Structure 1
């Protein structure tokens, strides 16, 4: 696959994930939120296992891998998806998308704390920009600045839970493929999530009888296309162009979600959300170390080009010295 085709594929994945935020907003209004997430994640997990079976990317996990995977499941599936469902039931899809756009930056901050990643001035500036952007979003209340809503708080917790799960995933994907770990997490997490839903939503399954044909179409599209297939395609993109470049494409998800919420849900585009998106996107580029890495590579290229060329005489002399050493041995 050529780099251009990979870029197009990643843009399509980001479009799907942006639309998925709108889809989830529709689903939590049609079904009991946590129960819906449990069933949706189960369908996604089964679908991903089927894909990985044909890709021959399945094996049994060892004890250490099971430990990290199950712990990551508690935060990345149970915590993330339950908070996400509860949050979307009380806030707009636009706000949710912008807050979730902080995920790469929050993961980067946690990596500095737990994995001892290097802090730089640019990364610190990016972190500040990102949190300013979130402040524009979550403090917006009826067109002005106010207090954070319960829905936005749940989305923040959903984002933070998933970010922490990524730190755990980082520790185990050195030996386990990201695709298989995602599949195990989705399947195990759906069981945990369903058990939790029986406690918070005892009659949650009853709401499934109320869904129309088109809402079920949205449900299966969200589970199979966005969650299962989307992760497989994104992992393929990482394999082709690297995690750093692929992660930058995540900045498109809030943009696509904002536009989709405006077109399909009739949610207004607020000035505070536009400012928030600009600050968050800037913060992700700086705070995740992407700009640092680009500057470092540029400096290396400049230094390599500034070195004086080796003359033919020096080359012949170096070859003679190498031959003399070889003869002496």
Structure 2
């Protein structure tokens, strides 16, 4: 598949993930967050298994591949979704979306540590800009301890997801990332359901009182944002690499902020806008996109016209 098609697919995934933030915020007001997440991820895994069966690429993993799947289930599913939903329960969807925008920078740093891909000086500058953006958007002017705790939960969520991308890159040498996604979701959803029984006893009963809009968003979140979104993104990682794919994650907070403002009525303040600009600048530098663009322009200027 061409790079252009992969990039357009990633734009679609970022829109779906951005929309997922306000959807999860709404869903969590009707059913306890961990309970609904466990059922949602289980539904998503079944959908991915059916898709892969239809595509005739589903197979059983080897013993070595199961090790990657188990680590990916812990980081990409259990920890990521657990802390994301716990965080959204006590902070705004807007702040949550902005913190998720740290994904590309954390991916670049993790790639240096685990994949021996070392960032340049510009990328380190991007890291500082990104952290500054999150500080401005989330910490400056925030009130109440609950908000800060929720923001910390969401940071743990995105950090654990970034670590899972390193696992996906290593596993992609022998295992199709789409197949890995199905197994990770299946194993991780079981862990989430068990966790929900401990943290939220009786949460399953609240499904019976949920309104029709809840079920519509529940299906959209599980089948589109989670099932298709993670399957496509993990496939892109295997094709274009973790750092290159992460460039597109800067669209995630943009879509999350806009859609949270439209559908949840959350107010965008000046600090949100300034923080977002810092994060975008940090992403462009931290992911290497700005440096690559500069090098290409430099080559064009020095290449003689024949």
TM-score (normalizing by structure 2): 0.90
8 Å CA contact 1:140–1:147 kept in 2: the answer is no
Match of 1:206 in 2: 205
Match of 1:262 in 2: 261
- Is 1:14 aligned with 2:14? yes
Larger mean Cα displacement after TM superposition, 101-110 or 293-302:
293-302
Gaps of 5+ in 2: none
Give the Cα–Cα distance (whole angstroms) in 1 for the partners of residues 123 and 146 of structure 2: 28
Give the Cα–Cα distance (whole angstroms) in 1 for the partners of residues 144 and 206 of structure 2: 36
Give the Cα–Cα distance (whole angstroms) in 2 for the partners of residues 241 and 161 of structure 1: 21
SS of residue paired to 1:17:
helix
Larger mean Cα displacement after TM superposition, 289-298 or 54-63:
289-298
8 Å CA contact 1:27–1:219 kept in 2: the answer is yes
Give the Cα–Cα distance (whole angstroms) in 2 for the partners of residues 189 and 178 of structure 1: 16
Q: How does 1:72-221 map to 2 (within 5 A)?
A: 72-142=72-142, 149-221=148-220
> What's the CA shift for 1:10?
3.9
Give the Cα–Cα distance (whole angstroms) in 2 for the partners of residues 77 and 240 of structure 1: 21
SS of residue paired to 2:253:
helix
8 Å CA contact 1:69–1:185 kept in 2: the answer is yes
Q: Given the superposition, is the C-alpha separation of residues 298 and 174 from structure 1 closer, same or farther in structure 2, using an over 3 Å criterion?
A: farther
> What's the CA shift for 1:160?
1.1
Give the Cα–Cα distance (whole angstroms) in 2 for the partners of residues 204 and 272 of structure 1: 36
Q: Given the superposition, is the C-alpha separation of residues 162 and 232 from structure 1 closer, same or farther in structure 2, using an over 3 Å criterion?
A: closer
8 Å CA contact 2:178–2:232 kept in 1: the answer is no
> What's the CA shift for 1:31?
0.5
Q: How does 1:25-40 map to 2 (within 5 A)?
A: 25-40=25-40
Q: Given the superposition, is the C-alpha separation of residues 266 and 73 from structure 1 closer, same or farther in structure 2, using an over 3 Å criterion?
A: same
Gaps of 5+ in 1: 310-329
Match of 1:274 in 2: 273
> What's the CA shift for 1:231?
3.1
> What's the CA shift for 1:16?
2.0
Deviations 1:232-264 (A, max 9, x none): 444666688776665333211211111111111
SS of residue paired to 1:30:
coil
**Larger-Rg structure:** 1
> What's the CA shift for 1:195?
0.9
SS of residue paired to 2:29:
helix
Q: Given the superposition, is the C-alpha separation of residues 2 and 69 from structure 1 closer, same or farther in structure 2, using an over 3 Å criterion?
A: closer
Give the Cα–Cα distance (whole angstroms) in 1 for the partners of residues 115 and 245 of structure 2: 21
> What's the CA shift for 1:276?
1.1
> What's the CA shift for 1:140?
3.2
Give the Cα–Cα distance (whole angstroms) in 1 for the partners of residues 193 and 145 of structure 2: 35
Corresponding residue pairs, total: 306
What is the root-mean-square deviation in Å for CA atoms of aligned residues?
A: 2.7
Give the Cα–Cα distance (whole angstroms) in 2 for the partners of residues 133 and 83 of structure 1: 21
Match of 2:47 in 1: 47
